[in-house]
Amino acid sequence: MLRRAQEEQRRMAEALKEKEADIRRAQQERAEDEKMFRVAQAQYAEEVKELARKIEQQQREAERQRREYEERQRRMEEERKRKEGEERQRRQREEERKKNEDDERERQRAEEERRTKEIEEKKREIAEKQRILEEKTRILEEKKRILEEQQKAKEAEEKQKQLDAKMRALLEEQEEMKRQQREEQELAFRRQRMAEAQMESQRARKQSQKQAMGLFGVVASAGTAALGVLTVHPGLVSVGAAWASNSANNM
């Protein structure tokens, strides 16, 4: 029994040694595993740190690009607004220029129309005065013809003297009327020449040579018409000729 107990004790001692060896191996493996874990943990921490650094760098780069993009957008917006402002000012200046040109053309048209109406009115006044003069002359000539017929019919010297006196009075009246008419005609001509000179001066500054030539045609036609009317009475020929000459010189 002692031998069996000793054998059993020996086996238990060997088993204990094997168990201790297993424990030491396990502890050694655990230490190696812990070492590998610490190394892996350190590598992981380093990788995480590097990754965080790269992420931060990428974020800074993204922020820089974002700021650059926003700056470009801001500059583009400012440039767009500047160009829009310049274009708006250019359109305003162009509209103002066109409005001023339209106003000036309208003013010139109104001035030309007013001057044309004045000339036409002067022509009508001259034509009316000429018609009145012709009518008075016709009446005087008719009276003269009647008196001449009466003179032929009368035989007495007294009647002849009375007729002569009437003839002289009529002639004096006719001469006075012609003188007054010449004065009125000359005054109308002077006013017309002043209006034509003023209009010619304005046209020389504001209108083209073609418009100036058009005015010359109008005034020349008016002078020719006036001469044609004046030639009806020999007493007014000299006045009409002088007026036509002055009109041509003023042109």
pTM above 0.85, yes or no: no
Residue 197, both tokens: 């000179």
What single-letter DSSP state applies at residue 208? -
Q: Does residue 141 surpass a pLDDT of 80? A: yes
Sequence-distant (6+) residues with CB within 8 A of 239 are 182, 185, 186, 189, 230
Q: Does residue 234 surpass a pLDDT of 50? A: no
For CA atoms 162, 165, 169, 171, the dihedral sign is positive
Q: How far apart are the first and last CA of the chain?
A: 170
Average pLDDT value for residue range 203-222? 60
Q: Residue 235: which H helix or E strand, with range?
A: none
Q: What is the pLDDT of residues 36-53, one digit of tens each?
A: 888 878 888 888 788 888
Tell me, what's the pLDDT at 231? 44
Determine the residue type at 5: A
Q: Does residue 60 surpass a pLDDT of 50? A: yes
Rounded-to-integer distance, Cα 249 and Cα 243, Å: 10
- Residue 240 φ/ψ region, left for φ over 0, alpha for ψ in the -120 to 50 degree band, beta for the rest: alpha
pLDDT bracket for residue 227 (50, 70, 90): very low
Sequence-distant (6+) residues with CB within 8 A of 170 are 140, 143, 144, 147
Q: What is the pLDDT of residues 81-123, one digit of tens each?
A: 999 999 999 999 999 989 998 888 898 888 888 888 888 888 8
Tell me, what's the pLDDT at 193? 83
pLDDT bracket for residue 76 (50, 70, 90): very high
Location of structure tokens 């829009």: 84
Portion of the chain with pLDDT greater than 90, in percent: 5
Tell me, what's the pLDDT at 221? 52
Rounded-to-integer distance, Cα 111 and Cα 214, Å: 16
